């Protein structure tokens, strides 16, 4: 079983999102929700968790804006929320772009050094 620490504070949405994605149980929940919405009970059964335990994981996913929930009667329904995934994708793309720019600058420096060495 996983023990969630709600005292941990994340300063950015990206940190919150990646922290939520780092847990295998939450990954399984997201995987299941990619097939369509599900209730807390439907998500808890395959995970072998109590409803309370699963609700805590769903709360983390909600805080990261990866999942939305809606209470209908006594049942809480969950579904994926594109907003959190879009933010994570933006962060990854921005990081990848900066990394690629660094390599391009390094290539430019190495090319200049080669040319200087041939003179």
**Is the separation of the CB atoms in 13 and 84 below 8 Å?**
yes
Q: Residue 37: inside a domain, yes or no?
A: yes
Q: Residue 1: inside a domain, yes or no?
A: no
**Is the separation of the CB atoms in 65 and 80 below 8 Å?**
no
**Which pair of tokens denotes residue 12?**
């950015």
Q: Residue 17: inside a domain, yes or no?
A: yes
- Model confidence at 9, pLDDT cuts 50, 70, 90, reads low
* Each residue's pLDDT tens digit, 58-97: 999 999 999 999 999 999 999 999 888 888 888 888 888 8
For residues 112 and 45, which has the higher predicted lDDT (pLDDT)? 45
Residue 3 has pLDDT above 60, yes or no: no
Structurally, how many domains does the chain consist of? 1
Which residue from 47, 42, 6, 40 is spatially nearest to 25, judged by alpha carbons? 47
- Is this structure's pTM higher than 0.85? no
Q: Residue 26: inside a domain, yes or no?
A: yes
Q: Which domain holds residue 53?
A: 13-118
Q: Residue 2: inside a domain, yes or no?
A: no
- Separation of alpha carbons 47 and 41, rounded Å: 10
β-strand partners of 67: 80
**Is the separation of the CB atoms in 8 and 45 below 8 Å?**
no
Q: Residue 6: inside a domain, yes or no?
A: no
CATH of the domain at 78: 1.10.10.10
**In this predicted structure, what is the pLDDT of residue 59?**
96
Residue 11 has pLDDT above 80, yes or no: no
Residue 16 has pLDDT above 70, yes or no: yes
* Each residue's pLDDT tens digit, 34-64: 999 999 999 999 888 899 999 999 999 999 9
Q: Residue 64: inside a domain, yes or no?
A: yes
Quote the Cα angle for 67-69-73, to 5°.
165
Q: Residue 53: inside a domain, yes or no?
A: yes
**In this predicted structure, what is the pLDDT of residue 88?**
82
């Amino acid at each position: 079983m996983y023990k969630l620490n709600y005292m941990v504070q994340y300063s950015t949405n990206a940190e919150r999102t990646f922290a939520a994605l780092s847990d295998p149980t939450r990954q399984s929940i997201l995987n299941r929700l990619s097939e369509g919405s599900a209730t807390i009970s439907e998500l808890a059964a395959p995970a072998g968790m109590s409803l309370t335990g699963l609700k805590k994981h769903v709360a983390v996913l909600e805080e990261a804006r990866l999942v939305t929930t809606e209470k209908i009667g006594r049942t809480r329904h969950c579904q994926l929320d594109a907003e959190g995934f879009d933010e994570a994708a933006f962060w990854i793309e921005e990081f990848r772009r900066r990394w690629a720019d660094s390599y391009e600058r390094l290539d430019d420096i190495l090319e200049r050094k080669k040319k200087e060495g041939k003179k």
